[in-house]
A and B are shown apart, each in its own frame.
Chain A
Amino acid sequence: MLGQYLPILALGVLAVLFAAVSFVASKLLAPRRPTSAKAAPYECGIVPTKEAPERFPVRFFLVAMIFIVFDIEIIFIYPWATIFEGLGLYGLVAMLIFAFAVFESFVYLVGNGALDWGPLKKQVPRTR
C-alpha cells in the first residue's frame, strides 16, 4: 500500500536535489560584491526610513479563521462523497443539516461585516 507513495518520495528528493545543485552552481558562477545599498530593502530607490510593519489588519486573521471552518467542512465532505450511496437518505439529511449549520453561521459572519474589505463606496448622485 505504501509502495504507491514511493514515486512521490523519489520525485521529492529529485526536486530538492535540483534546487540544491542549482544553488551550488549559482554560487560558483555568480559574482559576489555586496554593498550596503544593495543589501538595503528595495523601495524603488528611496532610502528606507521605517521598519517593515509588524502589525496587520485583523481582517486577514479573520479570513484565516473562517477558512479553517470551510476546510474542516471539506474534510468531512470528501469521505462522505465517496460513500454517500451506501448511506442513502440518512446520509443526505445528515449532510444537509451539517451544511446548513455551517452556512447559517457563515451568513451571520457576513451579516456582521467580517468579510468586508476596503472603504465603502459612496453612491454619488448622478448629475444630468
Chain B
Amino acid sequence: MRTNVFALDPLFLDDVGFEEVGIVLLKVVVAFVMLLVSVMLMVWFERKFISDMQNRIGPNVAGPFGILQTFADGIKLFFKEDLIPERSDRFVFKLAPYLSLVPAFLVFVIVPIGGDFGEDGDGTVTWFGHETFLQVADAPVGVLFFLAMSSLAVYGVMLAGWSSGSKYPLLGSVRASAQMVSYEAALGLSLAAVILKTGSLSSHDIALAQTGGIVNWNVLATGIVPFVIFLIAGTAELNRPPFDLVEAEQELVGGFHTEYSSLRFALFFLAEFMNTVTMSAIIVTLFFGGPAGPTYAGPAWLWGMFWFMLKLLVFLGVFVWFRATLPRLRYDQLMDLGWKILIPLSLGWFLFVAALEIGDNRGWSRVVVAIVSGAALALGALLMSAAISASRRQRLDEQAESDSPVGAR
C-alpha cells in the first residue's frame, strides 16, 4: 500500500489559530506527563520483573507493590548534595545533562500512540472540530528526526565524560561514543528497508501502511532480518545490557556519569529509561504496525491505543528479559558484531529487498531474483570473511615477529 510522501498532520493544513495552538499545547503537556509517568512505571517494572526472575521480592514498601519506589527515589535525589568536581570543565559539566534529556523527550513526538488504524481507518481523530493525529507531531522527516535525536544523545554522553576530568568517566564516554556511533550505522541501514516498503519517512504513514492484518506488518514484509538487526542495534544504542559496556561496573565504576550526583545524575537516569520506552515504541511503530489492530465495540481510536500499549509492553518486557538473561559482551566482540556482521548484513538485506520490489514491478520471476541476490550476498560474505582472515593472518605474523628471538632488539 503506497501513501503520499507528504501526508501531514491535517491540523496544520489551514491557518494556525488559537485553537490549533491550544491542541498543540494539550498534546505536548499530555506527552510530557505520560513520558515522566512511564519512566516511573518502567523503572518499577524493570526492578520487579528482574527480581521475579532472580527469585527475589524486589521493591515492596513504597505504595502498593512498591509502585511508588521510583517516585521516592526521585524525591530523595532532590535533597542530595550536588557535587561539581574541581578538575571538571564547569560549563560543559552542567550542559551535558540537558543534552541527554532534551533529545530523549523529543524523540517521542514521532510515535503515533493511537487513532483508528482498523480496516479502513486513516488514523485521524477529531478534537474540538479539528482533525488531527494521535501523535505529538508528524514531521515530514519523521524517521530521520529519530536518527538525528539519537545522534544528539551521543553528545550528552561524550561531553559528560570528557568534562568530568576523571579517568573512569573519560574511558566510559569514549567507549560509549564509539559504540553508539557504530551501532547507529546498523540501525539506520536496517531502517532503510522499512522506508523502502512504505515509500515515506513519516511515522504516521509507516503505521498506516501496516494496517489490515499481520502480513502487512513490516516485521514480515521486510523479512524479519531488519527487525532483528534493529532490535540488537537499538539495545546497543540504549547502552542497555548486554551492551552496557559504557557503565560496566567492574571496569569503569559508573561509566560516563561517575562524577555526577544528585539531580544531575537523576536526569541522566531519566533520559536513559525514557530512551528505553521510546525505543520500544519506535520498534512497535516501525515493525509491528504501531496502533494497527482489529477494532471492536467502542471508539476505534481507543482500540488503537490499546493495541499500541499492548505491543509496547511486550517490548519493554523483552528489554528487561535481555538484561536478566544475557551476559555482557567484551569490547572487541561488541565491535566485531556491529561492524563485521550487522552492518554488512543490513546493507545486503536492504539491497535484496529493493531488488525483489523492483523485480515485482517489472514482472521478473521472484525465484530468479532470489537466486541472483543470494549469490551476490554469498559473494559479499565470502569477501568479508576473506578480509577478516587476512587481517588475522597479518596480526599473527606481526606477533610471531615480535615474539621470536631473532626479531627482538
Contact = CB atoms under 8 A, between A and B. Distances in A.
Q: Tell whether A and B belong to one assembly.
A: yes
Nearest to B102: A15
Given A19-B101, A25-B78, A63-B182, A95 B344 contact: no
A4 interface: yes
Among A60, A70, A96, the one with the most B-chain Cβ atoms within 10 Å of its Cβ is A70
Interface in A73-110: 73-74, 77-78, 81-85, 88-89, 91-92, 95-96, 99, 102-104, 106-108, 110
Contact of A84 (B82, B358, B384): B358
Interface in B117-153: 136-140, 143-145, 147
Contacts of A4: 8-9, 12, 137-140
A63 B184 CA distance: 12
Contact of A8 (B81, B136, B380): B136
B137 A110 contact: no
A26 B263 contact: yes
A3 to B, nearest CB: 4
A112 B395 CA distance: 10
Interface in A28-58: 29-34, 36, 38-44, 48, 51-53, 56
B12 A3 contact: yes
Given A8-B106, A63-B182, A64-B181, A16 B98 contact: yes
Contacts of B84: 39
B366 to A, nearest CB: 15
B106 A15 contact: yes
A11 B136 contact: yes
Interface string B88-100: 0000000001100
Main secondary structure of the interface of B (DSSP, over half): helix
Nearest to A23: B263
A52 B172 CA distance: 12
Interface string A1-29: 10111111011101110110011011101
A90 to B, nearest CB: 10
Main secondary structure of the interface of A (DSSP, over half): helix
Interface residues of B, number: 101
Given A92-B358, A110-B384, A39 B138 contact: no
Contact of A33 (B81, B147, B165, B185): B81
A23 B27 CA distance: 25
Contacts of A103: 344, 347, 380, 383
A43 B166 contact: yes
B174 to A, nearest CB: 6
Contacts of A19: 97-98, 101-102, 267
A32 B28 contact: no
Contacts of B263: 22-23, 25-26, 30
Contacts of A112: 391, 394
A3 B16 contact: yes
B166 A5 contact: no
Contacts of A66: 339
A53 B328 CA distance: 26
A29 B74 CA distance: 13
A120 interface: yes
B178 A95 contact: no
A52 B362 CA distance: 61
A1 B358 CA distance: 32
A82 B101 contact: no
Contacts of A125: none
Given A63-B182, A84-B357, A113-B391, A41 B259 contact: yes
B28 A120 contact: no
A10 B25 contact: yes
Among A32, A78, A118, the one with the most B-chain Cβ atoms within 10 Å of its Cβ is A78
Contact of B168 (A25, A31, A43, A60): A43
A-B pairs, top 4 by smallest CB distance, nearest first, are A41-B166, A3-B12, A111-B387, A117-B332
Interface of B: 5, 8-9, 12, 16, 20-21, 24-25, 27-29, 31-32, 77-87, 97-98, 101-102, 105-106, 109, 136-140, 143-145, 147, 164-168, 170, 174, 177-178, 181-182, 184-185, 188-189, 192, 195-196, 199-201, 253, 258-259, 262-264, 266-267, 330-332, 335-336, 339-340, 343-344, 347, 350-351, 354-355, 357-358, 361-362, 380, 383-384, 386-388, 390-392, 394-396, 399
Given A42-B85, A70-B189, A85-B361, 16 more contacts: A6-B137, A8-B137, A11-B105, A26-B263, A31-B81, A38-B83, A41-B87, A41-B165, A41-B167, A43-B167, A52-B167, A60-B177, A85-B358, A89-B358, A113-B394, A115-B335
16 contacts: A6-B21, A7-B136, A15-B106, A18-B32, A26-B263, A64-B177, A64-B181, A67-B184, A74-B189, A78-B143, A81-B350, A92-B354, A92-B358, A103-B383, A104-B383, A110-B391
